[in-house]
């Protein structure tokens, strides 16, 4: 069985929890509180900057030209395309995009980004590739599921369209192919670290939505 089939199976319960999460249920219905979504957008802008750095480190560690291209293109997309989506929404919320870029990360955002950065710096390309996959795959999965429900006039339609888009699905498939090729070349211990990284990042995805839904911030500040 392909590595990605194994880990997708291993994450079945977690995936069900992601789909059932009130953030995604209410986003699908268009009833999600705008303030929770604004919190999410600002944190996601910070997240995507960190994610782009991780992808760029992946490009540097990649075994060959195809993977260098896939990772550096994904780094560019993380910044350029998603910044446009964010700018549109931030505008609707009356939030200055520059203010959003200087916002501070919540514990959930910081933990997720730093977990991936630590892997990018200290572990192999294969483990890094497994760590960045849930970001693609869960969003593609959630985006297409929500798009299929199609609540008319949904305020969050632009967000839904981004992740239900066939180009995003194609990028997700490319990443899965890269991860499977890396897993095929990996020894047992590296493969174990790949699985652990994938599952932890999938947990971080759930946590990121949950943190936004409850508009969580640091419980104590200096």
Q: What residues are labeled active site?
A: 135, 205
- Selected from 36, 46, 74, 135, the binder of ligand HMH by CB under 6 A is 135
Q: Residue 188 CB, nearest distance to ligand HMH (Å)?
A: 29
- Selected from 3, 139, 159, 198, the binder of ligand HMH by CB under 6 A is 139
Q: Residue 96 CB, nearest distance to ligand HMH (Å)?
A: 20
Burial of 63 (0-12, 13-18, 19+ CB in 10 A): middle
Contacting ligand HMH within 47-76 (CB under 6 A): 47-48
Q: Residue 161 CB, nearest distance to ligand HMH (Å)?
A: 13
Which residue in 63, 93, 99, 57 sits closest to 78, CA to CA? 57
Which residue in 75, 207, 65, 169 sits closest to 128, CA to CA? 75
- Selected from 7, 197, 205, 211, the binder of ligand HMH by CB under 6 A is 205
107/114 Cα distance (integer angstroms): 10
Q: Is 106 helix (H, G, I), strand (E, B) or coil?
A: coil
Backbone angles phi, psi at 166, to 5 degrees: -70, -30
208 binding ligand HMH? (CB under 6 A)? yes
Contacting ligand HMH within 6-45 (CB under 6 A): 44
Give residues in contact with ligand HMH (CB under 6 A).
44, 47-48, 82, 135, 139, 205, 208
């Amino acid at each position: 069985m392909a590595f990605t089939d194994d880990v997708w199976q291993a994450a079945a319960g977690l995936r069900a929890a992601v789909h059932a999460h009130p953030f995604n249920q209410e986003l699908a219905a268009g009833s999600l509180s705008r303030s929770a979504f604004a919190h999410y957008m600002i944190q996601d802008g910070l997240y995507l900057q960190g994610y782009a750095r991780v992808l760029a480190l992946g490009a540097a560690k990649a075994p060959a030209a195809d993977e260098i291209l896939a990772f550096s293109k994904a780094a560019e997309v993380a910044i350029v395309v998603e910044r446009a989506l964010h700018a549109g929404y931030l505008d609707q919320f009356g939030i200055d995009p520059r203010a959003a870029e200087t916002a501070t990360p919540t514990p959930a955002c910081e933990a997720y980004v730093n977990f991936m950065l630590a892997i990018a710096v200290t572990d192999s390309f294969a483990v890094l590739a497994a760590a960045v996959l849930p970001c693609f795959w869960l969003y593609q999965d959630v985006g297409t599921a929500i798009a299929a429900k199609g609540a008319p006039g949904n305020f969050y339609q632009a967000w839904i369209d981004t992740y239900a888009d066939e180009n995003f699905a194609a990028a997700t498939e490319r990443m899965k192919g890269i991860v499977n090729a890396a897993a095929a070349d990996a020894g047992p211990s590296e493969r174990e670290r790949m699985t652990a990284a994938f599952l932890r990042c999938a947990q971080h995805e759930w946590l990121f939505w949950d943190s936004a839904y409850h508009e969580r911030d640091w419980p104590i500040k200096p």
